[in-house]
Amino acid sequence: MVGEIKGGQMAYASEKPGEPLPTDTPVQCTVCGLKFTQGARAVCPHCPLQHAGCCFVKCPNCGFDIPQKSRILEWLRKLVAVKK
Amino acid sequence: MSFAHCAKVMVVGNPNVGKSLIFGHLTDQYVTVSNYPGTTVTLTRGRMKLTDDASILVIDTPGVNNFLPTSEDEAVTRDIVMDMAPEAVVVQVIDTKNLQRGLFLTLQLCEMGWRGVVALNMWDEAQQAGYTVDVARLSTVFGVQFVPTTAIRKEGIEALKNAECRFLHYHLVYPPAIESAVAKLTGLLPASTITARALALMVLAVGTGPLACFATLSPHERQQMDAIRGETREALQADILTVINETRAREAEKISHSVLQRTAQRKARPLWEKSESLSTHPVWGFAMLIAILYALYLFVGVLGAGTLVGWCEKGLFNNIVNPSAIRASDWLLPFPHRHVVEEGSIVPEYTFTATLTAGEGVCRFLHDFLVGQYGAITMALTYGLAIILPVVLTFFLAFGILEDLGYLSRLSILLNRLFRVMGLNGKAVLPMVLGLGCDTMATVTARILETRKERMIVTFLLALAVPCSAQLAVIMVLLAASGLGFKGIIIWLTIIALTMLIAGAAASRLIPGDDNPLILEVPPFRIPELRNIVMKTLARVEWYIWEVIPVFLIGTAALFLLDEIGMIHKLEKLLHPLVVYWLGLPEQAAQTILMGFFRRDYSAAGFIHLAKDGMLSQAQILVGMTTITLFVPCIANALVMIKEQGIKVAIAMIAIILTIAFGMGGLLYRLLEWIPWLVK
């Protein structure tokens, strides 16, 4: 496994070129309580489910998959913002 | 001495203390991630910028609870610590709330003769919990600077960077037998980067075998050291490792109590606290689990599987979507046929009204591909969107509530006790619980386990006996539709648990060695936030659509092609002995079982169809569900098994799993014939 970290944030080959690096928004795992940043996605290159629809962040301590965003909600938010 | 005068900086600490965050703040430049040579343990290296021209190497080590290793991670960290040059320094990161656990490591760093600085991280959380730490006293006790930090907000990082790195000192006195052995060993030890005392204690605790610096020892020298170990063990009348660990733990506790004070009590939450303690109680915990399962059944099984599926399947798909799709296909792809009408709606079945020309044959092929018996719309989308999606939606909603309530971590602790009976490592519980969400993701999570054997066993048990969210949902639909209700769930759960227990017992024989404790910071129970629950549920539903629907479409296309070349009937005949004689299911169940090779829930959805057509008794539903639950979860899971375990092991696992699945199905069929009063 080889990746690169910029300022503590991990960026892997799985990420599409041109997409911004993960932000340093802190995430707290709802199972083990670990606080970590979205960059800690060390197992993503090994996951066969890493498609465009994947919005999970895996806790580096216990491995729980924490959903980070909903595309439907994002779309609804944008829709409401445009109408306003 | 400051960092500017060091050759290297090594960041060490317990797991889950924010070590990597501190590492990230220390290194502002690009760094590399690689495996430690000869291991699967990941190491991260970076450089801390000192001036425009100067920087030093910083190494982030795996989280450890002890330098006397019980896992590969701990062995790697110990080796790094021992390989470091004398001019290197250490930054130890401690979770301030768990000071005692961190000081247990600090005492070992003192014995090794390291220079460095200690970060008291998660300082804000400790304060919120009402703790105050006498930092000055702690610094005096160990002779180094202790710097309060809140890494997540970058607080205290500058103070840490500017801290002076001094030698850690603390002379811990062990029982006389150990002190005497240390004195004897000191003269025999080879040169090392750590102190002779620390090395002697390592030899006493774990022997000379695992330590690289002893590779050049002569057999005679090894014998002498082993003899000293033997004498010490006899004098102590106990395991040396345990005595050393206990002495260090007691000292860490004593120091922690002398510097840590609780100035404010947490707000009393009697009802929540009572629930928290009940949820992990060996008896009441399981009673609570059954109550939660029943509530889950009412919400998912009755509301989701009954009401919502009724609306979606009958109201939306059977009355609107499928008839519209069939009419549109008939118009776009005309050929002489007439569809059957059931309950006022046209269905995929039809009869030919004339012989087809070549062009009409092509139209018929495309028509059937879209809206035939194995049509992409009438089968794949109807199964995926009308039958499973509503139940998955309610299941994910309930799962999100349990997750945000803080119940999942408690479930891990509750099951940890049960899994220990089966001989499974405590840490192995987490991937098994996570498998209830998605087995494939949980199989990837099995990487957190230390040994290959543990990873193999967990991968095997996940694929064998842990139903994923989508499958749990479909099982609820089927059991609700069959009239078996909660009784059906209990019977099904008992069989699956028994299978896992037997497999676990076999695993306990395969895995020798000590158990690793399950260390988990359990968050308190709290009221879930609606916004969070909605976001998580929608995110998981979106994932389901991305992940599952394409597999359903591919599986249906494969069935369609098999049907077109007349293979379905042949396969049904081929599987006849297994399906009809051994499992006691109708012949048509053969194609449903074939669907199980794509996804277990896809197959279970096929069983729903058979049950709705009145082709299955309650006993047959239970047999079908049990067989399918014990199948390999899905193609993605099989792929990740191959990726993680290698093709040979994965194929062997899949063969064993299929044997168990059909074996248990057949046994259950015979058992239910013996006790006919259990189910109709």
Condensed to tens digits (0 to 9), the pLDDT of residues B526-559 reads 888 888 888 888 888 888 888 778 888 888 888 8
Name every chain B residue with its beta carbon within 8 A of the beta carbon of A25.
none
Whether B530 contacts chain A with CB within 8 A = no
pLDDT average, residue stretch B430-436? 78
Q: Is A5 on the interface with B (CB under 8 A)?
A: yes
Residue of A nearest to B396 (CA): A67
In this complex, the residue of A32, A67, A71 whose CB is nearest that of residue B536 is A67
Among the listed ranges B5-19, B107-121, B331-345, B581-595, which one has the minimum average pLDDT value? B5-19
Q: Give buried/exposed letters for B127-140 (b at 16+ CB in 10 A, else e).
A: beeebebebeebbe
Q: What is the pLDDT of residues B582-620, one digit of tens each?
A: 999 888 888 888 877 777 777 888 888 788 778 888 888
Q: Which residues of B touch A69 (CB under 8 A)?
A: 535, 539
User: Does the beta carbon of B511 lie under 8 angstroms from any beta carbon of chain A?
Assistant: no
Tokens read off for B200? 């002697």
Element (H, E) at B197: helix B196-206
Convert the pLDDT of each residue in B461-478 to its tens digit: 888 888 887 777 777 777
The bridge status of strand A56-58 relative to strand A65-67 is antiparallel
pLDDT of residue B79: 76
The percentage of chain A sitting over the pLDDT mark of 70, rounded to a whole number, equals 42
B640 shares contact with chain A (CB less than 8 Å): yes
Residue B266 confidence (pLDDT): 61
Residue ranges per domain, chain B?
Answer: 3-167, 176-262, 406-674
Is B3-167 in CATH node 3.40.50.300? yes
CATH topology identical between B3-167 and B176-262: no
**Tens of pLDDT, residues B151-207:** 877 888 888 888 888 888 888 899 999 999 999 888 888 777 788 898 888 888 877
Distance of alpha carbon B394 from the chain centroid: 22
22-61 in A: which are within 8 Å (CB) of B?
26, 30-37, 39-40, 42-43, 46-49, 51-56, 58, 60-61
Q: How far apart are CA B444 and CA A41, in angstroms?
A: 12
- B654 in A contact zone (CB under 8 Å): no
B642 interfacial to chain A (CB closer than 8 Å): no
Q: Tell whether B193 is within 8 A of chain A (Cβ).
A: no
pLDDT of B144 higher than 50 = yes
Asked if A48 lies within 8 A of B636 by C-beta distance, the reply is yes
Decide: residue B514, CB within 10 A, 0-12 exposed, 13-18 middle, 19+ buried. exposed
Distance from CA of A84 to the nearest CA of B (A): 21
| B158 vs B88: CA distance, rounded Å | 20
Task: Find, among B468, B388, B471, B398, the residue nearest to B434 by Cα.
Answer: B468
Q: CA-CA distance, A19 to A3, in Å (whole number)?
A: 16
> For the domain with range B176-262, which CATH number is right: 3.30.450, 1.10.10, 2.50.20, 1.10.287?
1.10.287
- Measured CA to CA, the distance from residue B17 to residue B32 in angstroms comes to 21
Q: What is the pLDDT of residues B273-299, one digit of tens each?
A: 888 888 888 889 889 988 988 888 888
| Structure-token match 């479909």, residue found | B474
CA distances from B361 to B334, B352, B358 (A): 10, 11, 5
Provide the b/e sequence for B423-441 (b: ≥16 CB within 10 Å): bbbbbbbbbbbbbbbbbbb
Judge if ipTM > 0.95.
Answer: no
Confidence of residue B663 (pLDDT cuts 50, 70, 90): very high
Q: Give CA–CA dist B322/B313, Å, rounded.
A: 10
Nearest CA in chain B to A26: B152
**B541, closest residue in chain A (CA to CA):** A70
For B546, the closest of A51, A60, A63 (CB atoms) is A51
CA distance B40 to B43: 10
